[in-house]
Each structure stands twice: as structure tokens, then as C-alpha cells.
Structure 1
Amino acid sequence: MTKPNELEPLAPTEAIAFYEDDRRSEVSEETLQSHGYRLQRFAEWCDDNGIENLNTITGRDIQHFRKSRSEEVNTVTLKSQMDTLRVFMRFCESINGVQNGLADSVRSPSLDRQNVRNKDIVRANKAETILSYLDKYQYATLEHALFRFFWTSGCRIGAAHSVDLDDLHLRDEFVELEHRPETGTTLKNGYSGERAISIDTRTRNILGDYINENRHNVRDDYE
């Protein structure tokens, strides 16, 4: 087993960049982007919890991350994120960035038949096909903007329903989720569920183009 003093310092964002560069010749650009979106959630969690060097991360930290994500996304999304994190951790092991065996501590939820039957599942390859079609034939439509945001952020439909125009910080590439029971737009976990969701540049551009070109200028009863 690799000893702590044999590890080489590795920041989460640096590790993700190394990983993407290593996988670039092995997978499609769409798959690589999907992995990047999922790993960005992990990098954000590390930042929120003061983890600047992956040398120090433990199996317990991985479990805390899993619990945090399980409160924000459904089981299907959680499984895809944890599966990607396991592959990522194996890569980090190979470059002396984390303790050997850490990848084995990444537990992914199982999807039983009842779970699958009760959810509308869009698998990665299907989602990539849908996005390619929307990019080409329905660019910046409502359907394009929504699907892109849901797929890249892992956001729940109910949470997205709470988003107002003022919550979109496109220049800074993030979306705010706020609990507003007085206006009928609530979050599953109430005020504790309020958070900022980062978005990639491509998603930002599509949302911006939808707002500027195709969005109907409507207001609700609370404006």
C-alpha cells in the first residue's frame, strides 16, 4: 500500500484535468464531457469541505460526498456519478495522488427492477444522442435549454421549477436555487436545500441564447 509520504500533492481540479487528458483518446468527446460534469460536482464538494489535496481524502470522505449527492439527485443520477468517481479514483491511484485501494471504497447504489420501472431513465449514450439532435435541429429552444441543464447539472425537476431569471448568473456560470414557499416554488429540503449550481460554458451559452431569442416574455403573479 502506498504510504502517505509517498503520495504526490494533487488538487481536485488538477486531478480532473489529468484524468480528462488521459481519457481523451479512449472515449468520445460527449462521454468525456459527461464525466467532466459529474466530477465537477465532486470538485465543488471538496472545495466546500476544505479538501485541497486528494492525498488526504479517505473512504469516509467519499461516503460523506455520496450522502450529500443522494440528497440532491435521484438514484439513477447518483449511480452514474459514483461509478464515474470510482474510475476517477483508480486513475488517481495510478499517479500516486490518493491512497491505494481508495477506489474500492466508492460505493454505487444498485438499481433494482422496481427502481428502474418507477423512473424515467435516460442513459448516457441516449442523452448524448438527444443533445446532438437538439444542438443541430432545435438549438436554444425550451426543450434544448431544459434538457441540457438537467443533464449537465443533475438538478431535480422540482428544484429547477424554482429558478427565476434573476437566479441565472450566466456571466459567472452558476444558477441559484432558492426556497420560496410564499410563491409556491419550494425545494425538497427547504431552506437547507438552497445552493448554487455551477454550469459549463456550453450550457451557459444555450441558456443565454434561449432567453435572448426564444423565451416568451411572461411573468407570474408574484412579479
Structure 2
Amino acid sequence: MTLCAVYQQFLKEKISEGVTEHTLKYYKYNLPKFIEWCVDNKIENVEDVYTHLFEDYKLYLIENKNGTKKISLQTYTRAVKTFLLWLNENELLQNVGKLKLIKAEIANIVPLSDVEVKILLNNFDNSYFGIRNKLMVMFMLDSGLRRGEVVSLESKNIFMHNNTMLVNGKGEKQRLVPFGEETKRYINRYFNMRNEYEKRFFQKEDGTPITDNTIKMYFQDLKESTGIIRLHPHLLRHTFATNYILYGGDVEELRILLGHTSLQMTMKYVHLATQQRILNQRYHSHIDKLFCQYDNKLAQ
């Protein structure tokens, strides 16, 4: 059986499992590139797959994708690993071997400071786009929403009576997320400006729903207008989570709010909050203390 044929089977099964459109696009983008590489190397059928194929594909990516971050290469190969393991599970492939992802660098997360948050929130005017875009930012900062969750949010799932909203997270898992009074004020303002007949909450000027690309493009503009070069949508979620722990929030509660499947995913924010707490407090330098004592003795 050809790799192209089993790839189509793989997609059909993933669709029947109910994977999200985002996940499906991920497979459709990465797996054809892998299969094209296989065909170029005379590996057209499942029977042609050999034990170290995955290692050879990783080596190809590393050698031919100069300038691409290791974390991106890891993302490309994760789809291939899933595909090969699926072949193995369905007894279409026996010699799959050990599949280790490309080791990627760990990104250093620097949450937004209070000063940067104020700069960001003061960047909007009172136009339709100003109100809409500020509210999208507030949902990420105030409630920790992912970019995709902002895009898919429906009007019917925003509950003004108790300041909560029902969010569709990864894997179509739903969770209730609270928001503050300032965010509520902007929700009310935006409700009066949008197309009330469209079920998606955030819309373009013509009343049609926004897309992932709408937010991506806008954040490129925000980088320039705010001067915060490291700015991206997920950084706002990191900032929310760090501040939640910093001001006494419970780690398990944060896990539920963020929609994480394991506590381990959430624990990194404890470390970030500790770092932030140290930076927020006055740093007591032992060297400064010694020199201060020395200067005092000279002055006597």
C-alpha cells in the first residue's frame, strides 16, 4: 500500500475521531512534505519504510532548513511521529523503531511587566477596531484565553450576570472562565457595535467572523506601535498565568482556568511568578551593604 493511500486513511480516521480543524490543518501541512521527501528517496510504499527512516528525515530537516528554529523543526516531526505510530498501531508497519523528536531549545518566557501592560492597553482608540482589538487583548490578559479560543468564542457563551464565559479549548474541551469588571465594561461597549446575528463574538468590519490570521496580523502592528518587540498572543496568556500565581492564586485552579490536561504544564508559572516576585521587590545586594559600611567608617 502506498504512503499516499495510508495518509488518506489516517486523515479519515482523525476526522472521525473529531479532531479540531486546527489539528487537521497541522497534519495536512506537515505530512505531505514528509511523504514528498519519501517519494524523492524512492520510498513510495509502506513496505519500503525502514527502521531509521525517522532519523534520516530529522537529519534532512536539520541540514536543509537553515535558519529555522529547532522548536519549529520539532513541530514538523511531531506530526510524522504521530503518523508512523498510527501505522504501527494499525499493524501496517512493524519496523518503526524508536522515535525521538528533535531536541529543541527552551524558550525564555519574560511575561509583560505592569508598565508594559499599561502601554499595551493605552494603545487603543474608541473606534470599532479599537474597542474590538482592546477587548481581544483583555480576554487574553484578564482570562488567559488562547488565540484560537478568542477566534471561536460565541456570543451566547458570554454570561454577563456572573462575569464568566464558556470557552472551547483544545480538543473541543469546554471550560468556564471568569473575567473582571473592566473587561465586562468593554464587552458591553462591543456588544452594541457588532453584528448581533453572527454567532461568533469577534467580527470583522463587515460582520463576518475574525480568523487566526486577523489576530496574527494585528499583533504585528502592535509590536511596532507599542515598541514591545517580543509581543505575541500567547505571551498575554503567560502574563495572565504568572500574575495569577503572583497574587496568591492556587496552581490547581490555574490549571483548570488554562485548560491544561496536567499539572506539570502549569507548574512553570510558579517558577515565573517567583522570578517576578524577586524582581518586584527591592534587591538587597550584599556588596552594596559592605561598601555602605566601609563608606560609613571612612566618614567617621
TM-score (norm 2): 0.36
Q: Taking structure 1 as the reference length, what is the TM-score of the superposition?
A: 0.47
Question: Max radius of gyration: which structure?
Answer: 2
